Structure 1
Amino acid sequence: MKSKFVSSILLIFSAAIWGFAFVAQSTGMEHIGPFTFSALRSIIGSIAMILTINVIPKIGMLQKKETSVVVDKALTRRAGIINGIILFFAMNSQQYGLLYTTPGKAGFITALYIVIIPIMRSFMGEKVSLKVIICVIFATFGMYLLSVKENFTVNFGDIVVFCSAIFYSIHTLTLAHYSPKVDSIKLNAFQFLLSGILSLICALIFETFSLQDIVNSMGSILYVAIMSTAIAYSLQIVALKVLEPTIASLLNSSESIFAVLGGFLILNQHLTHRELIGCLIMFVSTLIAQIPIMSFRRKYE
């Protein structure tokens, strides 16, 4: 029981880091473009991930445990390439969308991956429950309130962030497929490194930046690279060894709340009543989508 409590605290802390990361991602682009930001955070993050593995003993032990079951190094590289490419599209579409929307709204829209994933799995032959279908309908209505204005104009940034949520959903499914078969720590470091290299190539082609621009954005870059990419992910690995995936998803979804809180405290951004109602509907829908109804029936029967 104590280990589950500690693991829950670790996941909530990770969600807080990821929520406030939306603010850092937004402020980081005051001096550099989205591709440049993604490139630096990914490359630095992959290096920090490797260092974190060696510094934190518990993570190091998990790595040794996982490494002992790896039988195909080529599969690890292939998984890193596939996930790195998908992560490149997910990360940069989210980063680009933040140029046109607020961190709070981006956090709630990104959290829709909890609802999107079951829909995607239905196309893979898995049956979707009526509960999930209802949650999808309500989540769609919530996004309508959040992103569509009263004059029926759509926020471009919200649409781009929604596309990133789709990419992150695909990324989650591919990670779930490969993680049991490879060293997930090495996979994570490799995918971020590849995503960073691809982002750097795009930054050199489509964006202009100077060393001073990078220095001015370094605070935001380091927060996302070290806190979000390396530390939060490492804490998540520890927590997931104890907690059930459903509970973990519920705790992770709280990052949307921290994204709004960060936007309010740091950037003094406010949501309208219409947007707040949309956020509430989306948040409740994502929570209900993850709660196993049968467990409640058994509990009270």
Structure 2
Amino acid sequence: MTRIQANLLLTVIALIWGSAFVAQSQGMAHIGPMMFTGVRFLVGSLVVLPLAWREQGQLAAQGAALQRRDWHKIVALASLLLLGAAMQQIGIVSTTVTNAGFLTALYVPLVPVLGWFLLRQVPHWSVWPGGLACLVGAFLLSGAHELKIGLGDAWVIASALPWAVHVLMVGRVADRMNAPFSVACGQFFFVGVAALAYALVFEPWTWAGLREAAGAILYTGVMSVGVAFTAQVVAQRYSHAADAAIILSSETVFSAAFGYALMGDRLSAAGLAGCGLILISMLGVQMLPLLATLRRERA
């Protein structure tokens, strides 16, 4: 897979995640956030299980089966994914789809900073203004400039740190193991079991509520988790983590579009300006490195 193909795949992932914010919000009308998170990630693990099973067979035949330390790394990734997904889901209960989508983008400027400090990765110069533009865009859209940050917004903002570390590490771990489907399936299963165990003990739930939320659970479990999160693991083997973070931030634009069409969310002039900044940064981080490469080839 080329870098361009990986970036295009990441854009499709962002579209799926943007649409999933609507389903996540609707599902909260019937069950608690951890119950929703647990069941949808278990559904996602079942979607990827056949691919992971086949991959494990191929690795065993090559004498490269995953070792205990590899599964420890997968659990560590899953812990980050659990924290990010749980805090985001809790926040969605009391904020709008649009705000949740855009505030999630706050992880974008954290990725190159963490990559620089923790892994000594030096990103293309366009990542820094792009990340800043994403941050300003999220600030404008959330209404923070009007001092209207609510509890739900705060939960989504807090989810930015585990999301950032997860985006930074997931492609690196999957590439070293050469087992993207096993990494994805292992993550989903751990998150699903942990979240579901918490929900069964601490959240009220009913079978009727689960049936009412079944459509939202299936959509987010199959598409957002099974398809999109797995594709992220694959695509990030070929894309720089900082680039991937900015491209994935376009989910915020898609969430606003779906929120407008399906939930009645409306953007102010400041919110529209925030959308524009995030779109510009997403295009810049993809196009500027490509133009530099073309200039070098011509020279």
Residue segments in structure 2 that go unaligned for 5+ positions in a row: none
Give how far 1:174 is off.
2.5
Letter in 1 for 2:269: H
CA contact (8 A) 1:148 1:155 kept: no
Could you say which residue in structure 2 is the equivalent of 1:24?
Answer: 23
CA contact (8 A) 2:45 2:185 kept: yes
> Could you state the TM-score of these two structures normalised by the residue count of structure 1?
0.82
Count residues in correspondence: 294
Distance of aligned partners of 1:150 and 1:179 in 2 relative to their CA distance in 1, 3 Å threshold? closer
Distance of aligned partners of 1:251 and 1:128 in 2 relative to their CA distance in 1, 3 Å threshold? closer
> Could you state the TM-score of these two structures normalised by the residue count of structure 2?
0.82
Please give the root-mean-square deviation of Cα atoms over the aligned residues, in Å. 3.3
Alignment of 1:283-298 (within 5 A): 283-289=279-285, 291-292=288-289, 294-295=292-293, 297-298=295-296
CA contact (8 A) 2:109 2:135 kept: no
Letter in 2 for 1:159: A
Larger mean Cα displacement after TM superposition, 25-34 or 99-108: 99-108
Could you say which residue in structure 2 is the equivalent of 1:215?
Answer: 211
CA distance in 2, matches of 1:128, 1:142: 21
CA distance in 2, matches of 1:131, 1:181: 27
Give how far 1:63 is off.
8.0
Q: Is 1:117 matched up with 2:111?
A: yes
CA contact (8 A) 1:52 1:230 kept: no
Residue segments in structure 1 that go unaligned for 5+ positions in a row: 55-59
Q: Is 1:258 matched up with 2:262?
A: no
- Out of 81, 84, 87, the position equivalent to 1:90 is 84
CA distance in 2, matches of 1:201, 1:66: 32
For residue 213 of structure 2, give the secondary structure of its aligned residue in structure 1.
Answer: helix
CA distance in 1, matches of 2:130, 2:224: 29
Give how far 1:134 is off.
3.2
Give how far 1:82 is off.
0.6
CA distance in 2, matches of 1:20, 1:114: 19
CA contact (8 A) 2:184 2:230 kept: no
For residue 158 of structure 2, give the secondary structure of its aligned residue in structure 1.
Answer: helix
Q: CA offsets per residue over residues 243-270 of structure 1, 9 Å max, x none?
A: 6558866654433232122112211211
Q: Is 1:77 matched up with 2:68?
A: no
CA contact (8 A) 2:253 2:275 kept: no
Give how far 1:141 is off.
2.5
Larger mean Cα displacement after TM superposition, 127-136 or 269-278: 127-136
Percent of matched pairs sharing the same residue: 29
